Structures are given as structure tokens and as C-alpha cells.
Amino acid sequence: MPKLAENFYIEIFWIYNSQIYLKSIDRNETKAINGFIDSDFSHYEIWDDISLQHKDFYLYEYEDIPRGRVVYSIEKQIVIIYANDNIVISDEARSLIIDRFKLKTKKVIFKYDEHYDIFNKK
């Protein structure tokens, strides 16, 4: 796949106390599947590494903290942020993501995905 001109990262992330915790890969280092650029990262698989780095997380499971995923649609040439409603409806969370991931707001959409719902709210 040819390199894409704009550089940013494909990521999975959590937002906790107005901070972003993430695992990322340069989008030019991934392969397109079905018209989307995404990582193979799984919140479940990455959680141990993330939780060991941040002492506040020891009481939580990976699905207890608002989380999401950054993907890129090749056809629409747009970044899609899939997340739970805590993130999708929060101006603060949306700004954190756009700033941290260096995304242009006119090329970003946020989509609620029930996969990222929080079931054990503490």
C-alpha cells in the first residue's frame, strides 16, 4: 500500500481523569482491510501493560474506563473515532482526542459503538 500523505496514528485509547492512555501505530505501518486502516490492538490484550504503568487502574478492568478506537476510512478519507457515549457526547473528551492525535476536526467523526459501553461503573 502506498504511503498516505497525512501522518497520524491509528490507536486504541482510554480516557481517565481528563488524560488519554493509549497504544498506537503509525497508519502507514498498517494494512488496509475492507477499505479501513485499523490496528490489530485489542483493549483486552493491552490492558495489563496500561494498568501496570498507572497505579490508579489496579481496581479496574479494561472495560470499566471510557475507551475507544481510531480508524481511517480510505474511501471517505476520514478519521472515525468509535467510542462509548461518555466520549462521543463530551466536548472535553473530543478535544482531548483531536489535540492528542493531531487530527483535523473537519476530517474526524465520532461514532457511538455499544462495544465500548461501560458495564461496571465504579
6: nearest Cα among 88, 101, 111: 101
In tens, the pLDDT along 75-108 reads: 998 999 999 999 999 999 999 999 888 786 568 9
pTM above 0.85, yes or no: yes
- Is the per-residue pLDDT at 3 higher than 60? no
Domain positions in the chain are 9-116
What gap in Å lies between CA 35 and CA 79, rounded to an integer? 12
Query: Does the pLDDT value for residue 17 go beyond 70?
Result: yes
Nearest to 13 by CA among 70, 72, 90, 59: 70
CA dihedral 52, 57, 63, 65 (to 10 degrees): -130
4 confidence band (pLDDT: 50, 70, 90):
very low
Separation of alpha carbons 85 and 116, rounded Å: 8
Please give the grid coordinates belonging to residue 16.
481517565
Listed in sequence order, the DSSP H helices in the chain are: 43-53, 85-88, 91-100
pLDDT digits (tens, 9 = 90+) for 31-79: 888 999 898 899 999 999 999 988 888 889 999 999 999 999 999 989 9
